[in-house]
Structure 1
Amino acid sequence: MEIRDVPEAHLDRALDLAYLVFHERPDEAKRKHHRALMLPCARVGAYDGETLVGFVAAHPFTLSVPGGDLPCPGLTFVSVAPTHRRRGVLSAMLGELFRRCGERREPIAALWASEDAIYGRFGFGPATQGALVEIDSRRPLALRIAPDERPLRLVDPADAPAAVGPYYASTRALRAGRVARDEERWSGEWLADEDEEDDELSPPRIVALGDPLAGYAVYRTKGENEDTRTPGLVRVDELEADTPAVAAALWTYLAAVDLTGTVRAWGRPLDDPLLLFAADRDQVRVTGQFPALWVRLVDVGAALTARSWAAAAELVLEVHDARVPANSGRFRLAVDGRSARYEPTGDPVDLSFDVRDLGACYLGGTRVADLVAAGLVEEHTPGAAAALDAALRTDRLPHTDDEF
């Protein structure tokens, strides 16, 4: 096998391979859309002779991390031909991507895992979690707080990049794990007219509150299924709000959409205020939870020193990384409450990590102490996990809606 760039002339081969692996048969419009998505991506392929047998694309994303932004390749369309499984194809392609990340000074990479069992082996850890929230909207939404009374308005999706894009950009600093969206990502992907998962859903709708804007929600609807008598659905894809009262107004609107009986939000943050200000938790239920964004620390030292910190700490970390040997070793992490130094040391170890678990903790969404309790991180010095958790803590849990 030869690992090399996939040129634009081979994009149709790459898509055919992905559709084979993911059991898809898209129409021509969807294929055209996928092809356009691939054009700005870095593309790595595995070739057996002239046959493309493996493919990985990487979006040139920017991801919010505590205290700022980092370049973060977003891996997608990861595919290996069924004839070439278990022959090191995926290992070779990801190894090449990690090498390129080092050259381009991209200290982290991320993906959404189609199969959770695969990507931990390559050093990815689940850094954000999503909650599936369902509201029984056959009766008025019961809340413990008063909704903001300012008028709501509908925003044309074509106007979204200008109308709500700057507001979304301002929210990225409040939660780590969020992808920066340019106009193409807003219009071509996030607000695509047809939903890839359910073609019965309406085009996207956007409801906004306040002038200047204080919050908005992106949602789609579906009418009642007459055969099964399933009530009409409001699917919430995104909801951002300045205050709990603004959020309450948006949720109240969504739960009152005519001819619907269920509101379903597919990926809310675990600390969503709705779960606290809902007056009836039988009406507002968490029906599931899932790992969302998986983060890989390609350069551990550069990633740790690029983020901000909530408390001072000085700890010796022992890191194991089977895929990027430069990350392996014993390092002193010295945090002064704002910035950090990360340097090799021979001093006794406080905490031992696999790089995947350090990636899970990196954005502040997984507690080190929980990983110690699970037997995944070894605490050699009592209190070391608590000290690192205090330093890693963020005011809000990391979260992302942008699946890719």
Structure 2
Amino acid sequence: MDIRAVPEAHIDRALELAYLVFHHRPDEARRKHYAQLMLDCERIGAYDGDVLVGFAAAFRFTLSVPGGELPCPGLTFVCVAPTHRRRGVLTAMLRELFARCTGQGAPVTALWASEDVIYGRFGFGTATQGLTLEVDSRRPLALRVEPDERPLRLVDPADAPALLGPYYERTRAERAGRIARGASWWADEWLVEEDEDDDELSPPRVVVLGDPVAGYAVYRTKGEDEDAHRPGLVRVDDLEADGPREAAALWRYLASIDLTGLVRAWGVPLDEPLLRFAGDRDQVRITSCFPALRLRLVDVAAALTARSWAAEADLVLEVRDAHVPANAGRFRLLASPGGATYGPTDAAADLVLDVRDLGECYLGGSEVGALVAAGVVEERTKGAARALDEALRTPRLPHTVDAF
């Protein structure tokens, strides 16, 4: 196999390979959309002679991390021709991606939830999780907090990126795991007229609280189906609010839309305040919990020293990494709220863990202690896991709803 960049002239070939592998038959509009996306991506191909037999693309994302943000290529459209499976094609393409990350100063890379059995062995750990919530809106939503009474207004989706973009960027900085959204990402991913998965849903609706913006929700609706005994649906795609009273105002609005009886919100954070301020938890149900963003630390030293720390920690980590040798070995982590250093050492290890485990805990969404209890991280010094957890802790759990 020859691993090299996929030129613009081969984008259609790369996408046809993806459609073959994923059994996908997009319409012409979606084909043009995917081709446009690929123009702005890193593109890696595996060629057998002149035949493209493997493809991987990476969005040029910027990801919020505790205390700041980092460039973070977002892996997508990964595929290998069925004639060339189990020949090391995926391994070669991912190693090329890791090398590009190193060369471009991107210490982390990510992908949206996929097969853990595949990507876990390449060092990707589940860094964020999401919930699907359902609200029975056939009766008024019971609340334990007084909703913010500032006016709500519906805005034209065409005007939403300019209005919501600055607000989203501000709130993005308050929670790790979120990608920066440009105007094209808003328009092409969040505010597309027709939903790709359900053509019965309405176009996107955007409701905004307050002026200046104190919260917003992007949602779609579907009418009642009497034959199927299905109530009208409000599907919430994205909701942000300054605080619980602002969130309560938005949830109350969504649960009171006429001719609907169910609110379904996909991908909400594990610490969603509705779960606490709902007056009747029988009215608000969690229907699923799923892995979302999987994170890979390509340069462990750069990643650890780039984030902020909540407490002091002086620990020796023995890191295993089968694909990026520079990450493997024993390293001393000296962390404090003022910053961190990380470098090689001959001292005995306090914790032994895989780079995948570091990726899972890096944003503050998983506890090292839980991984010790599960037997996948070895604690050689009593209390080491607790010390690292205290240092990694963040005020809010990491979260993203931007699937890619």
Which band: TM-score by shorter chain? over 0.9
Match of 1:218 in 2: 218
TM-score normalised by the chain length of structure 2: 0.99
Q: Which amino acid aligns with 2:301?
A: G
Q: Which amino acid aligns with 1:208?
A: V
Q: Distance in 2 between matches of 1:301 and 1:309?
A: 14
Q: Give the conservation status (yes or no) of the 8 Å contact 1:310–1:338.
A: no
d(CA) in 2 for partners of 1:355 and 1:208?
Answer: 41
Question: Residue in 2 aligned with 1:324?
Answer: 324
Per-residue CA deviations over 1:21-80 (Å, capped at 9, x if unaligned) read 111101100100010111010000111111111100000000000000100000000111
Residue 332 (structure 1) shift: 0.1
Deviations 1:255-302 (A, max 9, x none): 111111110111110011100000111110111100100000000000
Contact 1:123 1:296 in 2 (8 A): yes
Partner of 1:208: 208
CA separation in 1, counterparts of 2:201 and 2:79? 28
Counterpart-to-counterpart distance in 2, 1:336 and 1:45: 42
SS of match in other structure, 2:161: helix
SS, match of residue 16 in structure 1: helix
Match of residue 81 from structure 1: 81
Aligned residue number for residue 134 of structure 2 = 134
After TM superposition, the structure 1 = structure 2 runs for residues 49-198 of structure 1, keeping only pairs within 5 Å, are 49-198=49-198
Report the more deviating stretch, 219-228 or 24-33.
219-228
Q: Counterparts of 2:196 and 2:44 in 1: how far apart (Å)?
A: 25
Is the contact between residue 336 and residue 391 of structure 2 (CA under 8 Å) also seen in structure 1?
Answer: no
Q: Which amino acid aligns with 1:359?
A: G
The 8 Å contact of residues 43 and 58 in structure 1, kept in 2 or not, is answered as yes
Secondary structure of residue in 2 paired with 1:164: helix
Please say if 1:39 is aligned against 2:35.
Answer: no
| Structure 1 position 102, deviation (Å) | 0.7
Alignment-derived partner of residue 271 in structure 2: 271
Residue deviations 1:342-365 (CA, integer Å, cap 9, x gap)? 010000110011000100000000
Deviation track 1:235-256 (CA, whole Å, cap 9, x = no partner) reads 1111111111110000000011
Alignment of 1:364-379 (within 5 A): 364-379=364-379
**Correspondences of 1:213-252 after superposition (within 5 Å):** 213-252=213-252
User: Per the alignment, in what secondary structure is the counterpart of residue 102 of structure 1?
Assistant: helix
Q: What stretches of structure 1 of length at least 5 have no aligned partner?
A: none
Is the CA contact 1:113–1:119 (under 8 Å) kept in the aligned structure 2?
A: no
SS of the residue 1:63 aligns to: strand
Cα-to-partner distance string for 1:321-357 (whole Å, 9 max, x where unaligned): 0010110000000012231000100001100110001
Q: Which runs of 4+ in 1 moved over 3 A?
A: none
Q: Distance in 1 between matches of 2:197 and 2:116?
A: 20
What displacement does 1:113 show?
2.8
**Residue 257 of structure 2 aligns with which residue?**
257
Kept in 2, the 8 Å contact 1:311–1:338? The answer is no
How many pairs does the alignment contain? 404
* Residue number in structure 1 paired with 2:356: 356
Q: Which residue of 2 aligns with 1:338?
A: 338
| Sequence identity percentage | 73
Inter-partner Cα distance in structure 1 for 2:339 and 2:329: 21
Cα distance in structure 1, aligned partners of 2:77 and 2:191: 20
Q: Distance in 1 between matches of 2:382 and 2:357?
A: 19
Between the aligned partners of 2:321 and 2:290, the Cα distance in structure 1 is 25
1:64·1:176 contact (CA, 8 Å) conserved in 2? yes
Q: What's the CA shift for 1:223?
A: 1.0
C-alpha separation between the residues in 2 aligned to 1:301 and 1:197? 41
Asked if the contact 2:310–2:336 (Cα under 8 Å) also holds between the matched residues in 1, the reply is no
TM-score of the superposed pair, with normalisation by structure 1: 0.99
Counterpart Cα distance in 1 of 2:286 and 2:261: 17
| Partner secondary structure for residue 221 of structure 1 | strand
1:225 shift after superposition: 2.1
| Amino acid in the other structure paired with 2:260 | T
Could you say which residue in structure 2 is the equivalent of 1:394?
394
Question: Which runs of 5 or more residues in structure 2 are unaligned?
Answer: none
Residues 123-167 of structure 1, C-alpha deviations (whole Å, 9 max, x = no match): 000000001111011111011111111110001111111111100
Letter of the aligned partner of 2:274 in structure 1? Answer: L
Residue identity matched to 2:319: V
